[in-house]
């Protein structure tokens, strides 16, 4: 093992679950290692729950639901404010844990993985009237929340915050590949004094705990962020109990650079966005769609941007990009780089093999292909790593067609000097969120997908409404 886990105030809790306000031992004796992707060495072991643990956690959440739903919005807001303040107070602990469990460079973990937290304002008693009928919005009930390994804290807060704010109780299943920050989060919730059973942490894998949680008859809603394949399995498991399912899944997001765009301002930020979190983001704009007449200049600017990236030890303050988060993703990205070469795409920078000076850890070279055709696998499949496809076009209509030539529809970008023209293109792209000229992140903007990128929304009022049920009272 490498350096011991010092990020948890009680590291012995790694073999426990947080259920009904207590750290309890699971029914199963199954354990799994947490691997530091920069060294490929195990740094901890966690316990994995099973169906019996799911039953226990769901029962605790069910018992707590009526009391929590009856609390005032102001009381729920006080709890959420305390949770948020404690996260910020322990920000360095979270950053160190995230860097170790999934390879984020420590500077990026501090500035983005921890700091990118959206607020959740509890609604008041939401009642509207239509004549003598009252329309009420009420908490949906017990929510099973399944979060991914690539944004371990960010995705926890994106789900737990609005669920608790709406008056729901939750059972959280974080990814077993990056669970350390979830333990820290459970400690924060406990220290915030939230009532027993309102929040429950249950570690486990997808086929075991995830499937049992999705199928459980006393779970009213499942919210998953993960692969499209995982979304299909969760939906199938949830179908017999007809519970609500909210899914934030895969993507193959386009970045359309219009003919009048200032390339000096459009290209480098596009590369940074595509390789953000080492490309391990479902909304990463990994298809750069560019005017054919500007192709050579775009390639030059892209390679210039890539040359400034420092791939290396995530503990170094100088590192801009660390390793991929786990072995499966490492092998997937290396395979897809080989596929791109075999398909005839032109490699303009990066390529197969480790970055210079590295021969251990899940490191890959930031890679860019040009002259990519939309039918190629590298243009159609989500790679989830630092691989950018440059696709040339001859007309704006063709650019829009290429942007929409995907089974996904999660995020998109449009760059252009004429704002009205950019807005027109944005309106034609079938995607749940479109960014024009790299705007600042907006936590009030709903986020979610079209097509196989999922359904439902996170953030904004729409994200809160996912956790509310609608009741109409006639003769009110």
Residues belonging to the active site: 248
Q: Angle at which helices 91-102 and 152-166 pack, to 10 degrees?
A: 130
Q: Print burial letters for 130-166: b (CB count within 10 Å at least 16), e (below 16).
A: eeeeeeebebbbbbbbbbbbbbbbbbbbbbbbbbbbb
Closest CA to 255 of 429, 441, 371: 429
Closest CA to 454 of 401, 411, 414, 413: 411
Token pair for 120: 């959740």
List of residues 6+ apart from 270 with CB closer than 8 A? 255, 257, 285, 288, 413, 415
Token pair for 90: 């322990």
Q: In this structure, is the dihedral angle defined by the CA atoms of residues 93, 103, 208 and 222, taken in order, positive or negative?
A: positive
Q: Print burial letters for 433-471: b (CB count within 10 Å at least 16), e (below 16).
A: bbbebeeeeeeebbbbbbbbbbbbbbbbebbbbbbbbee
| 3-class DSSP state of 412 | strand
Query: Which residue is listed with tokens 């007809």?
Result: 242
What is the rounded distance in angstroms from the CA atom of residue 378 to the CA atom of residue 252? Answer: 10
| Cβ 132 vs Cβ 44: under 8 Å | no
| Residue 311 phi, psi dihedral angles, 5° rounding | -95, 125
| Cβ 388 vs Cβ 286: under 8 Å | yes
What is the rounded distance in angstroms from the CA atom of residue 94 to the CA atom of residue 79? Answer: 20
Closest CA to 307 of 321, 293, 317, 292: 321
Beta-bridge partner residues of 434: 412
Closest CA to 297 of 379, 388, 392: 392
What is the rounded distance in angstroms from the CA atom of residue 443 to the CA atom of residue 448? Answer: 13
Length of the chain (residues)? 476
List of residues 6+ apart from 448 with CB closer than 8 A? 248, 410, 432, 433, 454, 455, 456, 457, 458, 462
């Amino acid at each position: 093992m490498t350096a011991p886990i010092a990020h948890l105030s009680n590291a012995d809790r790694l073999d426990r679950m947080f259920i009904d306000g207590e750290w309890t031992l699971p029914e199963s004796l199954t354990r799994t290692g947490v691997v530091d992707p920069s060294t490929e060495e195990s740094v901890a072991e966690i316990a994995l729950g099973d169906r019996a643990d799911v039953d226990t956690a769901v029962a605790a959440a069910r018992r707590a639901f009526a009391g929590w739903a009856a609390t005032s919005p102001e009381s729920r807001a006080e709890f959420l404010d305390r949770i948020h303040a404690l996260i910020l107070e322990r920000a360095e602990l979270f950053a160190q844990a995230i860097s170790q469990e999934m390879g984020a460079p420590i500077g990026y973990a501090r500035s983005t993985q921890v700091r990118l937290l959206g607020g959740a304002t509890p609604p008041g008693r939401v009642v509207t009237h239509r004549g003598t009928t009252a329309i009420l919005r009420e908490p949906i009930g017990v929510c099973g929340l399944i979060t991914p390994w690539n944004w371990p804290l960010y995705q926890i807060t994106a789900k737990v915050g609005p669920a608790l704010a709406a008056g729901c109780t939750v059972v959280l299943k974080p990814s077993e590949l990056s669970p350390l920050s979830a333990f820290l989060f459970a400690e924060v919730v406990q220290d915030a004094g939230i009532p027993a059973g309102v929040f429950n942490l249950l570690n486990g894998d997808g086929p075991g705990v995830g499937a049992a949680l999705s199928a459980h008859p006393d779970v009213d809603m499942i919210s998953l962020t993960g692969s499209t394949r995982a979304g299909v399995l969760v939906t199938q498991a949830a179908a017999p109990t007809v519970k609500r399912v909210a899914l934030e899944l895969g993507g193959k997001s386009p970045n359309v650079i219009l003919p009048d765009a200032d390339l000096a301002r459009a290209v480098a930020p596009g590369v940074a966005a595509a390789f953000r979190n080492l490309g391990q983001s479902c909304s990463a704009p990994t298809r750069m769609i560019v005017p054919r007449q500007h192709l050579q200049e775009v390639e030059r600017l892209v390679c210039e941007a890539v040359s400034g990236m420092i791939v290396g030890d995530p503990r170094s303050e100088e590192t801009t990009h660390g390793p991929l988060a786990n072995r499966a993703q490492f092998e997937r990205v290396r395979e897809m780089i080989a596929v791109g070469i075999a398909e005839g795409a032109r490699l303009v920078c990066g390529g197969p093999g480790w970055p210079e000076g590295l021969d251990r850890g899940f490191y890959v070279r930031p890679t860019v292909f040009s002259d990519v055709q939309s039918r190629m696998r590298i243009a159609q499949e989500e790679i989830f790593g630092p691989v950018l496809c440059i696709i040339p076009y001859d007309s704006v209509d063709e650019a829009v067609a290429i942007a929409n030539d995907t089974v996904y529809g999660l995020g998109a970008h449009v760059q252009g000097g004429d704002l009205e023209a950019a807005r027109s293109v944005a309106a034609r792209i079938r995607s749940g969120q479109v960014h024009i000229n790299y705007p600042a992140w907006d936590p009030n903007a709903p986020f979610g997908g079209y097509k196989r990128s999922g359904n439902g929304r996170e953030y904004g009022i729409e994200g809160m409404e996912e956790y509310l049920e609608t009741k109409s009272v006639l003769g009110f």
